[in-house]
């Protein structure tokens, strides 16, 4: 029975990785030089030149960021999505293995635990040099969490219906 609580190392370890990442100033996470060294991204310019929108009071476009900056923006936002998608699944696994609750309760508590950590993560970024908290990032985190929720819900329902 005690071994089941080792499942809590999964979300706890993942949250520690997120905390460390949020503690790192932007300059140390800038991947534009790596992107430049790996591949000439200018070939994408004709395909993404139409992309232009405002995010956190800044323009996101090739004109404002260059091709490498635009690609980096989407990689970073994709990392937000993926990070909290994974955290939702890890919370689900930990609760499923340690709590005798119905599926719906485990999903809801996992969802809100993940959203709570997303909010805490953004607040934490406010204390990191050259990083700013932004509700838009929490919304992206929440989208990743929601997609994980739906996948888990449909997967479990399909699994239950196959057993019937």
What are the boundaries of each domain within the chain?
A: 2-163
Percent of the chain with pLDDT over 90: 66
Residue 2, pLDDT score: 63
Return the bridge partners of 53, or none: 60
Q: For residues 164 and 156, give the distance between their C-alpha atoms in angstroms, rounded to a whole number.
A: 13
If phi > 0 it is left, if psi is from -120 to 50 it is alpha, else beta; for residue 51 that is beta
Residue 58: count of CB within 10 angstroms of its CB = 11
User: For the whole model, what pTM was predicted?
Assistant: 0.89
Q: Is 127 helix (H, G, I), strand (E, B) or coil?
A: coil
CB 70 within 8 A of CB 48: yes
Q: For residues 26 and 24, give the distance between their C-alpha atoms in angstroms, rounded to a whole number.
A: 6
Q: For residues 24 and 42, give the distance between their C-alpha atoms in angstroms, rounded to a whole number.
A: 28
Residue 83, pLDDT score: 98
Return the bridge partners of 54, or none: 59
Residue 69's contacts (CB-CB under 8 Å, 6 or more residues apart) are 32
Residue 164, pLDDT score: 60
Mean pLDDT (the chain) is 90
93 phi, psi to nearest 5 deg: -60, -45
Side-chain half-sphere exposure of 146, counting CA atoms within 13 A:
6
Residue 54: count of CB within 10 angstroms of its CB = 9
Name residues of the chain where pLDDT drops below 70.
Answer: 1-2, 163-164
Residue 149, pLDDT score: 97
Residue 26, pLDDT score: 79
Residue 37, pLDDT score: 76
């Amino acid at each position: 029975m005690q071994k089941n609580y080792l499942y809590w190392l999964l979300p706890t370890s993942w949250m520690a990785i997120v905390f460390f990442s949020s503690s790192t100033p932007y300059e140390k996470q800038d991947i534009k030089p790596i992107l430049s060294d790996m591949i000439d991204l200018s070939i994408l310019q004709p395909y993404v030149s139409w992309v232009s929108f405002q995010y956190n009071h800044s323009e996101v476009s090739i004109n404002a960021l260059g091709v490498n900056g635009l690609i980096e923006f989407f990689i970073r936002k994709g990392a937000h999505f993926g990070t909290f998608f994974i955290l939702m699944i890890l919370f689900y696994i930990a609760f499923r293995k340690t709590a005798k609750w119905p599926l719906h309760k485990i999903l809801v508590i996992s969802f809100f635990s993940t959203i709570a950590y997303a909010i805490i993560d953004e607040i934490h970024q406010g204390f990191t040099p050259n990083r700013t908290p932004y509700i838009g990032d929490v919304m992206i985190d929440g989208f990743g969490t929601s997609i994980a929720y739906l996948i888990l819900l449909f997967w479990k329902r399909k699994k239950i219906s196959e057993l019937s």
